[in-house]
Amino acid sequence: MQRVAACKGCNPSARGFSRPTHRRPSRRSGAGLVAAGGLSSLASVVESQQFDRPMLEELFEVAREMERITEDGSECKILAGKVMGTLFYEPSTRTRLSFETAMCRLGGKVVSTENAREFSSVAKGETLEDTIRTLEQYVDVVVLRHFQAGSARIAADAASVPLISAGDGPGQHPTQALLDIYTIQKEIGRVDDTKVALVGDLANGRTARSLAYILSKFRNVKLYFVAPDVARINEDIKEHLTECGCEWEEVDNLQSVASEVDVLYQTRIQKERYGDRPEDYEKAQGKFIVDEDLMRLMKQDAVVMHPLPRVGEITPQVDADPRAAYFRQAKNGLYIRMALLATLLKGK
C-alpha cells in the first residue's frame, strides 16, 4: 500500500481507501455484507466472520497509516463533507468516543444519540428498521450499539448506507475484535502460534465471542476458556472452533494456565446481563482476579488485555506493569475505527 500523502496526511486514491463512485445502493440482503472482493468491497460490519486473513492484513495496513497520521498531527480531510450517525441503545465510553473521534480526525462530522432507548423515537414505539431508515436520510454511515443479539444484521439489512455494529447485546462486537487482534500483533509481534486465555463472563461477553471467531482464522492458536460455571462460553463458539481445527480447552483455574499463555484477555462479569438471576451474578463475580501475584506467574513477553470497563477483575497495581496493555488497546481502537470509516466511505 502506498503511504497516504494528500492533505498532508491523506491520499484519497491510496489502496485501501478507493471505492467505486456510485449512488446509495438499494436495500440489500445480509449475504451482501461479506466482502468477497476484499476489504474495498466491504458494505457493512456486523460480525467478525466477515473478515478473512487478507482483509485483516489490508485493514491493519490502513490502521498503521491512520496511526502515523494521528501521531504526526497531520490535518486529514478525506471524509470532509461526510456525516456519521452514532445510535447507542446501551452505555458506552470507549467505543462511542473513539468512533466519534475517528470521524472528526478524518475531517467528517458526527450526529449522536447517546441513550437511544430514552432519547429517540424508540421510546414512542418506533421499530429499529424505521429508525435506521430515517437516520440514513441524514448521514452517510451509521454506528449502532443495541441491546439485542442479532440487531446489527437486522439494521444492516434495512439500511442503504454502511452500518457498523458497535455491539449487539450478548451477540458480537466485531470492531473490538479487530482492534484486539491489531493489539496482539503490535504487542507480541504475531497472532499465529499463540496461546490465549479468555477469562470472565464468556457466556455474555460479546467481545470474547468476536475475538474467538477471528482467532480461529490464524495458525496454531490455542484458546483457554476460563470462566465461572454460570458464565461458560456458549456451545456455538466451541463447535465453530472445532470445525476450524482450532484447539481449545475449558479451564477452572486461571493460575494453572497463567504461565502458558501469550495473551490473557480478561473481561468483567456483566451485571446488566443477570437482571433476573442475581444469584448467578454473585457466583461469578470476583472469581478470577488479575493481580500482582498472578502477574508473577506470567511470561515476561506476555500481555494482559481487557476491553474495559473493569470493575475489580484487574487490580490497579497491575497498571504499572509493562505487560498491562489494556489502555494501549483502547487507543488502538481509534486507529482501527479510522481505518474502517475511511474504507467504507472514501470514494462513496
- pLDDT category at 283 given cuts 50, 70, 90 is low
Residue among 185, 184, 166 at smallest CA distance from 174:
166
Tell me: pLDDT of 36 over 50. Answer: no
- Kindly state the percentage of the chain with pLDDT values over 70: 82
Cell, residue 315: 487490580
- pLDDT attached to residue 346: 81
- pLDDT category at 38 given cuts 50, 70, 90 is confident
- pLDDT attached to residue 112: 86
Burial class (CB in 10 A: 0-12, 13-18, 19+), 245: exposed
Cβ pair 8, 75 in contact under 8 A = yes
- Higher-pLDDT residue of 149 and 34 is 149
- pLDDT attached to residue 23: 35
Cis upstream peptide for 25 (omega within 30°): no
- How many whole angstroms separate alpha carbon 73 and alpha carbon 335? 14
pLDDT tens per residue, range 304-313: 999 999 988 9
Q: What is the mean pLDDT of residues 269-274?
A: 66
- pLDDT attached to residue 272: 63
Write down the pTM of the prediction: 0.85
| Averaged pLDDT of the chain | 85
- pLDDT attached to residue 82: 97
* H or E stretch covering 166: strand 163-168
Q: What is the mean pLDDT of residues 63-78?
A: 91
Residues annotated as part of the active site? 94-95, 124, 145, 173
In the sheet where 83-88 sits, what is the strand order? 109-113, 83-88, 141-146, 163-168
Tell me: pLDDT of 33 over 50. Answer: no
Most confident of 91-100, 109-118, 219-228, 277-286: 219-228
- Identify any residues that bridge with 110 across adjacent strands, giving them in sequence order: 84
Range of weakest confidence among 31-35, 128-132, 215-219, 302-306: 31-35
- pLDDT category at 217 given cuts 50, 70, 90 is very high
* H or E stretch covering 285: none
